[in-house]
Amino acid sequence: MDSVTHAPSTEVLRAIVEAAADGVVLCDADGAVVLVNAAAREMVPGDVISLLDRAREPGETYETALGDRLLRVRREIFGIVHQAWYLRDVTNETARADALRAERERTQFLVEAGRRLSASLNTRRCARATAELATGLLADAAMVVLPPGGLRRTAWLRSSDAGLEEGDIPVAHADQVPGLAEALAGFPPVPSRWLDPHQAPEWLLPAGFGPVGHLLVTPLPGNGVPAGALVLARREGGAGFDDETETLVRVFAARAGAAISAAVLYQEQSATNAILAGDLRPPPLPVVEGLELAGSLRSAQQTALIGGDFYDALPTPDGPLVTLGDVCGKGPRAAVLAGQVRHSLRALLLLERDPEQLMHLINKALLSSYTPRSHVTLVLAAIHPGEGVIDLAVAGHPAPLLLRADGAVEEVDARGTLLGAIKSGAISLRTASIELAPGDLLLLYSDGITEAFGGPTGREMYGSDRLKTALATCAGMPATAVVERLEQLNSDWLAGGVFDDRALLAIRRSR
Amino acid sequence: MSVAVDVVDDYLEKVGTADEFGAIDLVLGLLGEGVPAESLLLDVIAPAQRRVGELWAAGTWSVAREHGATAISERAVAAIATAVRPRPTRSRITVACTDGEYHALPTRLLAEVLRLRGWHVDFLGANVPGPHLITHLHQTGPDAVAIGCALPTRLPRAHATLTACQAVGIPVLAGGSGFGFDGRFAAKLGADGWAPTADAAADLLEQGRLPSFPTPGATLAHLADEEYTLFTKRRGEILAGVMAELPRRFPPMRDYTQAQFDHTADDLAHIADFLSAALYIDDTRLFTDFVTWTCDLLHARGVPSRSVALALRLLHDELHDFPRARHLLAEGTLAADGA
Amino acid sequence: METAPFLIEIENPEPDTTRLTLSGDFDYTTSADLAAMTPTLMTSALRVLEVDLTGVTFIDSSGLATLIHLYHAAEEHPAEMRFVGMTPYIAHLFEVTALDQVFNLPTSAA
């Protein structure tokens, strides 16, 4: 080895280089190897020169494989004339980084899974989220088979690079996939199962998926309620499910199962509620020759939209009997009583059609009711569609308003006692009979309209005068438009404030 | 088969004269001749309804005539929907107007277009309370919810609804002029998609351009100054102050009848609604566009718009602790003076 | 809307007379107070129950129901229940519900 003028002696260089913890290969200006330190010799027992990439600029770092090891190499200027190549074995470092990355990926996956699965209380949305989440990190295709809702067929959702697919299979077909029927039964708990890919029936995979390499069926544990099963498929040639993935699948399945089973319970309850509440909501109004009927009901209880205000239009051979009323109280309890009043009316109508007599009968029925404080205010309007005559009885309720075709507004002169309130059973009623000319309109409303607090200052009661003024601007409008406009003006008055149950019903004689 | 221009005039004439049967016969007749239902909805009824709005704004049509025409269009839409009922081949979509929004027809048109294109549509109608919408979403699990908003003043409530839908994992498609002519308010409120028209919305859904799960929405950082909150809370006393001051600064008001006085209070409340929406969204043009529109509307009706500029100035004076509102009002005053 | 707090004041101007002075919003949320108190008002000495509604700003159907309940309780006791003060708003409400024909109202307001 030649010594170089004005450069440190080889001994000095050796002393410096041997002291380094990294492997060092020192070259002279021509690129000839001057020194290889002990660390470098240990790292690279054989030919070290072939690892040195001379195309690299000084300061550059690159990684290169040496058998099953990974070396990181950096080229540097060393002193005045020498070039140094620093070598470091980063095999373990990289493995740790890979493991860390994989761990981070799994954590992120579970965080995202938690976010998506906790959002919905809908079975299908939860199943969709489960399938879509599982596609990618866990599998090439993921299918959620939902617990059978009935005896015959069961629904599934599948996500893959073909997009989202949905369908159902006969429950009996679950037997074609080993472990699936048990997983769907939900009890007893069964572990995940590997399947021989050849055992997969055609319906299990998207069309054109290609040969399957790995198939895993995992039950979705549902806390006592069946929550279905997750089927994961990976293509042939791809990696299999290692232990870490299987653990991840198990944790994921537990979360997905919890979300789906909660959704199943919610769906059952809300379906029951919907049936019960449906009966308490206002019915569609009948079509009556020569008349327009339109109603609107806003409930203070905004979830199921039921409350103490109600209306109904009951057909009789002589023409419809229209009713609008308000039971004492709010929410479901009031709605149930309102439903009872409507049913009583329907039954009583078989015997009696005169509004005044009906009021007495309902009053008696309410007084004998088991429900405490069954107080009801009510308007009954027996319509004779041919002549446009309406017989009215009003009990404890604001008197209806009449809008004449020319825009004049009158209050109907009828009033009477609140029903179900006075134990003696005596009520006094002043009934009225009015005549609707073509284009005239009769408006029934509840006090939730007139007692709405709001306005420019937010503290003012809407009041019957404002309602009358608003109604006067509605001359000539169809009944639906009148009801819509009055409701809108009232809502604007409330300006988003708290409101009580509100009901409006308009009867208009067609022109 | 496309629709001739005079068909729209014809239809408009019928709804404008409360000729319900004439309007329905017209659209059903065209349907029978082979005009596609979607074209009837979007090329006849929608443009006619836009004209209805313009005629009302210009003071040519009364409120009663406008409402009557809209009610007939609702029935014409229903008649088309009854006549053409394709079997749903696509998944489920919920369509609703936001809480407090009563202009249901544009949203109804979207619902019908989607239905015609094979979606399974649940149309919840006008003025849907937020909790009811969320319950419905849990019960039915649609792929998306389309929310219609015709007036920017409903945007704060639309935002609450939108966020609630996203929180239960359903992506939101925003539509209607309330979200801005270019959809900029929809973007600002974090909607997952926006479409200017019913057919554009249908295309967007068909092309799968909505995410399957909503992306977390942007936060409205400017709300931290609490101007919106405080203005909403003190709105009553602020407006009462302006109403008390107006007659002193605008003498003709002293001779106003109660009805005229109420009308002025309504106008002022309307200005306050837009001011609070502009504060919420933090958009100056939302407010200035409204001021210009109001002044044009008053001109069209032969009412001097001086009182608008005056009301804006009085509000400006009243709101000393509201720098953002004062800026909006100053810009609004310029717009009113320029109108 | 800000609601006025509901208050009940009880006085005994005479040994056999109890006077209830109600004020504030008497509605669904506040009427339970008076309902719960009703049985305790029916003491053995009670002959006259006076109810002053002058300070009541709002009554809804639950408030009305509670008054009716109170009226019935007094009737059964027996004691005479009479209203000694009310606003035109409440007088109108009693008129609409025809309770003016049941209750003992001050002549000036009825």
Cβ atoms of residues B192 and B211 within 8 Å? yes
pLDDT of residue A159: 96
Q: Indicate the class that CATH gives domain B87-218.
A: alpha beta
Q: What is the mean pLDDT of residues B247-264?
A: 84
Residue B107 and residue A275 in contact, taking contact as beta carbons nearer than 8 Å:
no
Name beta bridge partners: A33: A27
Does any CB of chain A come closer than 8 Å to the CB of residue B229? no
Percent of chain B scoring above 90 in pLDDT: 65
Does A498 score more than 80 pLDDT?
A: no
Is 50 exceeded by the pLDDT of residue A1? no
Q: Output the domain CATH number for residue A447.
A: 3.60.40.10
Greater model confidence, B306 or B333: B333
Q: H-helix or E-strand containing B17?
A: none
State the average pLDDT for chain B. Answer: 91
Q: Is residue A280 part of a domain?
A: no
Task: Compute how many other C-beta atoms are within 10 angstroms of the C-beta atom of residue A219.
Answer: 25
Mapping DSSP onto H, E and C, the string for A122-155 reads: CHHHHHHHHHHHHECCCECEEEEECCCCCCCEEE
Domain with residue A179: its CATH number is 3.30.450.40
Query: Which of A57-61, B63-67, B130-134, C17-21 has the highest mean predicted lDDT (pLDDT)?
Result: C17-21
CB-nearest to B269 from A122, A456, A488 is A456
Co-location of A123 and A75 in the same domain: no
List chains adjacent to chain A, taking adjacency as at least 3 C-beta pairs closer than 8 Å: B, C
Nearest to A116 among B102, B138, B169 (CB): B169
Q: Is residue A2 part of a domain?
A: no
Q: Mean pLDDT highest for which of A150-154, A466-470, C4-8?
A: A466-470
Helix C31-41 to helix C61-76 angle (10° resolution) is: 0
Q: Is the pLDDT of residue C2 over 60?
A: no
pLDDT tens readout for residues B170-188: 999 999 889 999 999 999 9
pLDDT tier at B169, thresholds 50, 70, 90? very high
| Chain centre to alpha carbon of residue A257 | 17
Neighbours of chain C (3+ CB pairs under 8 A): A
How far is residue A494 from each of residues A380, A453, A460, A461, B235, measured CA to CA in Å? 28, 6, 9, 9, 13
A4 lies in a domain? Answer: no
Name the percent of chain A lying above pLDDT 70. Answer: 98
Distance CA A149, CA A146 (A): 8
pLDDT computed for residue B1 by the predictor: 53
pLDDT of residue C108: 54
- Domain with residue A85: its CATH number is 3.30.450.20
Q: Domain containing A85: what range?
A: 10-89
Q: What is the DSSP letter of B177?
A: G
For residue A400, the 8-state DSSP code is P
Question: Distance, in angstroms, between C24 CA and closest chain A CA?
Answer: 14
The answer on pLDDT for A3 being more than 50 is no
DSSP class per residue in A194-222: EE-GGG--GGGS-TT---EEEEEEEE---
Tokens representing A495?
């300006």
Quick check: is A1 in a domain?
no
Q: Is B240 on the interface with A (CB under 8 A)?
A: yes
**A394 and A426, same structural domain?**
yes
> Is residue C107 one of the residues assigned to a domain?
no
Residue of A nearest to C63 (CA): A328
Residues A82 and A112 in one domain: no
Banded model confidence at residue A283, pLDDT cuts 50, 70, 90: confident
Q: How far is A395 from chain C (nearest CA, A)?
A: 7
Per the structure, how many domains does chain A have? 3
Query: What confidence category does residue A256 fall into, taking pLDDT thresholds of 50, 70 and 90?
Result: very high
Q: Pick from C58, C69, C101: which is nearest to A373 by CB?
A: C69
Average pLDDT over chain C reads: 86
Residue-wise pLDDT for A60-79, tens only, equals 999 888 888 888 999 988 87
Q: Do B68 and A476 touch (CB under 8 A)?
A: yes
Which residues are A416's β-sheet partners? A429
Span C18-44, mean pLDDT?
87
What pLDDT, on the 0 to 100 scale, is given for residue A116?
Answer: 92
The residue extents of the domains of chain B are: 1-85, 87-218, 222-338
Compute the nearest-CA separation of B233 from chain A (Å).
9
Closest CA to A270 of B236, B98, B195, B134: B134
d(CA B62, CA B47): 19
pLDDT band at A32 (very low <50, low <70, confident <90, very high): confident
Does the distance separating the beta carbons of A428 and C98 come in below 8 Å? yes
Closest-CA residue of A relative to C76 is A423
Mutate to test the interface with B, among A457, A465, A501 (most CBs of B within 10 A): A457
Contact A435, A388 (CB under 8 A): yes
Q: Which residue has the higher pLDDT, C31 or B271?
A: B271
Spatial separation of the C-alpha atoms in residues B161 and A302, rounded to whole Å: 13
The domain containing residue C80 runs over which residues? 7-101
The mean per-residue pLDDT over the stretch A329-341 comes to 86
Q: What is the mean pLDDT of residues B34-56?
A: 94
Alpha-carbon distance of B188 to A461, in angstroms, equals 36
Query: Tokens 């009033």 label which residue?
Result: A415
Q: What angle do the packed helices B20-32 and B63-83 form, to 10 degrees?
A: 30
Higher per-residue pLDDT: A4 or A337: A337
Class of domain B222-338: mainly alpha
Query: Which of A327, A415, A497 is facing C98, going by the closest CB pair?
Result: A415
Is the CATH number 1.10.600.10 carried by domain B1-85?
no
Chains that touch B (3 or more CB pairs under 8 A): A
What is the rounded CA–CA span in Å between residue A203 and residue A192?
A: 20
- State mean pLDDT over B218-241: 89
Per-residue tokens: C66: 């509670």
Separation CA A502–CA A304 (nearest Å): 15
Residue of B nearest to A166 (CA): B91
Stretch A241-261: mean pLDDT: 90
pLDDT tens-place string over residues B282-318: 999 999 999 999 898 888 877 777 888 999 999 999 9
Which one of A7-16, A179-188, A402-411 scores highest in mean pLDDT?
A402-411
Contact B71 A484 (CB under 8 A): yes
- On chain B, the residues whose CB falls within 8 A of the CB of A125 are 141, 169-170
Q: What is the CATH number of the domain that holds C31?
A: 3.30.750.24
Instruction: Name the minimum distance, in Å, from the CA of A193 to any CA of chain C.
Output: 57
Burial class of residue B34 (count of CB atoms within 10 Å of its CB; 0-12, 13-18, 19+): exposed
Q: Nearest residue of C to residue A447 by CA position?
A: C60
Which stretch, B105-114, C8-17, C37-46, has highest mean pLDDT? Answer: B105-114
Interface contacts (A, B; CB < 8 Å): 110
Q: Any idea what DSSP says for residue A56?
A: S
Q: Is B259 on the interface with A (CB under 8 A)?
A: yes
Assess whether pLDDT exceeds 50 at residue A55: yes
Residue A224, SS3 per DSSP: coil
pLDDT of A2 higher than 60: no
Q: Which of C2, C28, C98 sits opposite A329 (nearest CB)?
A: C28
Interface check for A474 against chain B (CB to CB < 8 A): the answer is: yes
CB B141 to CB A305 under 8 A? no
Q: Are A66 and A45 in contact (CB under 8 A)?
A: no
Q: Is A120's CB within 8 Å of B269's CB?
A: no
Per-residue pLDDT for B67 more than 70? yes
Please state, in angstroms and as integers, the Cα–Cα distance from residue B214 to each residue in A69, B4, B168, B169, B262, following that order.
Answer: 44, 41, 9, 6, 44
